[in-house]
Structure formats: structure tokens, C-alpha cells
Amino acid sequence: LAKTTQPISMDSYEGQEVNITCSHNNIATNDYITWYQQFPSQGPRFIIQGYKTKVTNEVASLFIPADRKSSTLSLPRVSLSDTAVYYCLVGDKAAGNKLTFGGGTRVLVKP
Amino acid sequence: NAGVTQTPKFRILKIGQSMTLQCTQDMNHNYMYWYRQDPGMGLKLIYYSVGAGITDKGEVPNGYNVSRSTTEDFPLRLELAAPSQTSVYFCASSYGQPTTNEKLFFGSGTQLSVL
């Protein structure tokens, strides 16, 4: 049973904003929502994390509605180098420390 | 800080051989994880550890073993290599539980081929 649901892939063009929504209906009360980025042949790396409302850093913004059942990663003005797989990660009360990733969203930025 | 270091980067094994994938971190992290990633697919959890002396199975533990005798090291052992174990293996660590306000740090991976 998947804990998170994301689109499999998204295409965009340089300079556009990319928004990726992740559904996590069973998120635990104390859990944060974390997004990771993975380039080909590399390990994933942390890009942003939040608990509620909006978080922004130099790379992205994260929007979390009040019910916290979903979150949206926003990548402003993407470039070719933003082509990667993006994973949304939340906890699962039933799984405890068994930290599993969903399938991720493959973002392709075209010139 | 070196972060999470994995060795070797590449390895080719024959069917039935055994090997140990090394993972070490210098950040004094308590939580450590082993994932495998098949081509074009997501990450599958093999084993994890929440501290020295404590390990537990993930989603796909069959064919693998781990140990955690120190905080720094979390080696992954393949006893009888099979072609189905051809994959890229990633080790990750975090200080606290990654679903709280912590983050996972990943190594650069070990690409393993079993022929």
C-alpha cells in the first residue's frame, strides 16, 4: 500500500515553473514532509522540508495545506539542470522507522 | 566532513560469489539505511538500523545481511550473488528519524553487476 502518490513524469521548458503534487492521506501528526532530488547515477539529495503552510529556500518552495494530506513542490524558472527525479517522503505510523520511498516524479526540462 | 562514503563504486560478481558493500559515515548519525535501485525504478529499502547493535529488515531483505557494530559503519553482505541482485546500491544516514525535521544524506552508490 503506497503511502505517497505522485505523478510519474512531467515535462517542462526552461524558464517555466514546475509544480509537483504529492498525496499523503495517512500522514502522521508529527511527521514532516521532505522532498529529495535525484540526478542520474547519483544518490538522492535533500531539497526542502516542511510541516505546514509554506516553506521557501534558495532552490524551491513547498506548499502544505491545512489538512496536510498533500503537498506541492514548486521549482521556479527551471533550467535544463533541474532534469531529475523528485521524491516526496513522509512517515508511516504502521511502518515505524521502515523508511520507504514512492516511485518519484521524473521531470524533464526541455530547451 | 566526508559525509556518507560507499565502497566500491563498481563491482562485477559471478553468480554464487559473495561480497560486502561498505558504508561509513562521519556525522555521528544514528539512523542508517540500505536501498537498491534497479534501472529506471525507485528506491527499495533492504535493511536499516536505528543505532549500533540494532538492525531490521526493509522491503526486500532476501539475499542480504547487515551488521551495525559501530555507529559509523553499516556494511551490506551478499552471500550468494544472483543476477536479480544486479542494481545500484545506496547507503543513507540521518541523525534522527528522517520523517521528523531531519534529513537523509546519501552516499554516491555502488553499481553491482552479477553475471
**Most confidently modeled of A84-93, A97-106, B52-61?**
B52-61
> Using the beta-carbon criterion (under 8 Å), do A99 and B99 form an inter-chain contact?
yes
pLDDT of residue B114: 96
Q: Which of B7, B41, B74, B99 is the best residue to mutate to test the A interface, defined by the most A CB atoms within 10 Å of its own CB?
A: B99
B52 vs A: CB within 8 A: no
A90 vs B: CB within 8 A: yes
Distances (CA, A) of B57 to A94, B37, B52, B98: 14, 17, 15, 17
Under DSSP, is residue B111 helix (H, G, I), strand (E, B) or coil?
strand
Phi, psi torsion values for A81, nearest 5 degrees: -70, -5
Res. A2: pLDDT tops 70? no
> Using the beta-carbon criterion (under 8 Å), do B100 and A32 form an inter-chain contact?
yes
> Percentage of chain B with pLDDT > 70?
99
pLDDT tens digit sequence for A46-65 = 999 999 999 999 999 999 99
Residue of A nearest to B103 (CA): A46
> Using the beta-carbon criterion (under 8 Å), do A46 and B103 form an inter-chain contact?
yes
Strands B110-114 and B10-13: parallel
In this structure, the dihedral spanned by the alpha carbons of residues B29, B33, B38 and B39, taken in order and rounded to 10 degrees, is -20
Strands A70-75 and A18-23: antiparallel
Which residues of chain A does B58 touch, with a Cβ-Cβ cutoff of 8 Å?
A: 98, 100
Of B35, B42, B45, the CB nearest to A104: B42
Residue of A nearest to B56 (CA): A98
pLDDT of residue A36: 96
Under DSSP, is residue B84 helix (H, G, I), strand (E, B) or coil?
helix
pLDDT tens digit sequence for B54-110 = 999 999 999 999 999 999 999 999 989 999 999 999 999 999 888 888 899 999 999
A15 vs B: CB within 8 A: no
pLDDT mean across residues, chain A: 91
